Amino acid sequence: MNHNRRHPITIICAAFCLAGAIIGASVSKNSAFAESVTGSLLTFNAKSFWDNLFSTGKYLLAAVFLSLSLFGGPGIPILCGLRGFFAAYYMTAVVSIVAHGKALFAVLIFFLPFLLSISAILSFASSGTQTSAGITVRAFGRGAGGAVVNREFIQRFCVSVVLVVLAALYETYAAPGIAASLLRA
């Protein structure tokens, strides 16, 4: 596989994520969603590790399913855009309702898991779209031989799983303490 083609795929996915984040941040400023975010922040209680793992890992799981289908080429960048949109939407709503002095704490609560999650998707994006391209070529009868899922696919998936587990650990054990200190003072 051509390694020079992989970097543009990652850059395209990162651009979709950034565009989604910009749109999400701008939309959440004029939304009634901020009131519901206030309620969820005030009743913030720690979810179990498995709940957080599913919540954080669902985007990686979707990227894996997309990469093993014909729709991975356009689907993975769109998934990155959606991840950026939802994370920025929620973070902007939380920062807008928290006192200005505590905005840094709010960003700490939500930005680190987002950063780990999007890093997992971006590290997987290039091999996932290449795998999807290989499946597409085979589906239309123009390719033969060799495994579609290769060593690099599995290695990037393993690195992505580690990043998602780190994000879930942070959300389970560190974020509740940060949220408690945010709401205390």
Q: Is 16 left (phi over 0), alpha (psi -120 to 50) or beta?
A: alpha
Tens-digit pLDDT profile for residues 167-178:
999 888 888 777
The predicted pLDDT at position 6 comes to: 55
Mean of per-residue pLDDT scores for the chain: 79
In the predicted structure, residue 143 carries a pLDDT above the cut 80: no
What torsion do the CA atoms of 8, 10, 16, 19 make, to the nearest 10 degrees?
-90
